Amino acid sequence: MLFEVTALGEGRRERLRLDAADAADAAEQARLQGLTVLGVRAGGLPVLALKRPARFPLTLFSRELLALLGSGLSLVESLQTLAEKESRPETRKVLQELLKHLYEGESFSAAVGRNPAAFPPLYVATVRAAERTSDLPQALGRYVAYQEQVEQVRKKAVAAAVYPVMLIFVGGLVSIFLLGYVTPRFASIYADNMERLPWASRLLMEWGALIQKHGLGAGLFGLAALAGTTALAIRPSTRAAIGRMAWRLPLLGERLRIFQLTRFYRTVGMLLSGGITVTASLEMAGGLLNPELRQRLAAAARDIREGKSISAAMERAGLTTPVASRMLRVGEKSGRMGEMMESIAAFHDEETNRFVEWFTRLFEPLLMTAIGLIIGLIVVLLYLPIFELAASLE
């Protein structure tokens, strides 16, 4: 849902249009950009755009900038090179704006911070921390590695979902063809003997006769139902409700919790390795968690500010697993907390991959069996009267 946020930033009043789940989420997004929120109101209706604005290729930009800096070019020279070779107008405009701010004497972190649509708060914080220690190439390398790991997890999840979605789509098309085209023709054949048909077959034939009589209306109703379901499914409130139901499922809920904690630990580990303080890292990475875990994180951050250890605070808030608790304690003793959090994320990534592989191997045969039974039931009900007639003639 779109919200219009009125905020104060750098001495001037600004209006932002943000896509958020609710008003509180929109206000939090504005605060993460360093703005003081003055007011939030719903602005605009969510629509399906035929052409979405092109997203800034942040990972590619960081990888190319890292390569140019590693070759000995200065930051300004590197950005000039990227702007000159860029063919996409939107991306070139972002790079030219960065150069403009750098020519005016601003730091690189301040320049990227002026464009939150292209550079998220996590990226800005990474660059700002790198400027303090003069290790921008190392920070860019960490960010690129972080994004590649996140993208790898996303690709695995998408790949695991492709085959089941295709099965459902093809099975649905076959079922619609049988019900909308084949069944009405069988219904016309059995029209004079409808009362003699078995109950289930008669019900199916009545459905076919109804479609034959009101085919256009049924088709329009089906399209309207599909459009309404799609519009409802893309609403943030609907996705949030589905997410809450998924979290209540015994097996899936725990896996979703571990998946969110894995992303959280990887992000915090990257920020800590870049020199950002623990409390700031926790605050910036908190947006990756769902509202319940975010509240627990706020309690853990409060305990850490009061002097408790990270491992104790996180364990008390329920933001750890047995493996994570032990590794956090090791990280505190060794002073390598950032590396240890990244190791926690890597460990649970492997665990999640094994679960996804196991679930896919189990779910796909079950789904194929269910679709086959549905299609087979329709075919059997279509031919059952013929089988009974053949049996009576013997």
Domains of the chain listed by start with CATH number: 2-42 (3.10.20), 58-145 (1.20.81.30), 146-394 (1.20.81.30)
Residue 185: pLDDT band (50, 70, 90) is confident
The pLDDT score that the predictor gives to residue 50 is: 36
Average pLDDT over residues 274-303: 84
Average pLDDT over residues 125-134: 78
Please, what is the average pLDDT of the chain? 80
CA angle at residue 255 from 254 to 259, to 5 degrees? 120
Average pLDDT over residues 360-384: 86
Q: Is the per-residue pLDDT at 376 higher than 50? A: yes
Q: Is the per-residue pLDDT at 172 higher than 80? A: yes
The pLDDT score that the predictor gives to residue 81 is: 92
The pLDDT score that the predictor gives to residue 197 is: 75
pLDDT per residue as tens digits for the range 314-351 = 999 888 888 899 999 999 888 888 889 889 988 888 88
> What count of Cα atoms within 13 Å lies in the side-chain half-sphere of residue 274?
30
Residue 127's nearest CA partner among 114, 118, 140 is: 140
> What percent of the chain is predicted at pLDDT more than 70?
86
Q: Which residue has the higher pLDDT, 144 or 216?
A: 144
Q: What are φ and ψ of residue 366, in 5° steps?
A: -65, -40
CA angle at residue 24 from 286 to 115, to 5 degrees? 70
Count CB-CB contacts under 10 A for residue 311: 21
* Mutual angle of helices 291-305 and 250-273, in 10-degree steps: 40
The pLDDT score that the predictor gives to residue 154 is: 76
The answer for residues whose C-beta is within 8 angstroms of residue 181's C-beta and 6 or more apart is none
pLDDT per residue as tens digits for the range 25-72 = 677 677 666 666 667 777 544 433 334 456 788 888 988 998 998 888
The pLDDT score that the predictor gives to residue 52 is: 45
Distance from CA of residue 168 to its chain's centroid?
A: 21
Give the separation between CA 313 and CA 304, rounded to whole angstroms: 6
pLDDT per residue as tens digits for the range 67-122 = 998 888 888 999 999 988 888 888 888 899 999 999 988 889 889 888 888 888 77
The pLDDT score that the predictor gives to residue 293 is: 85
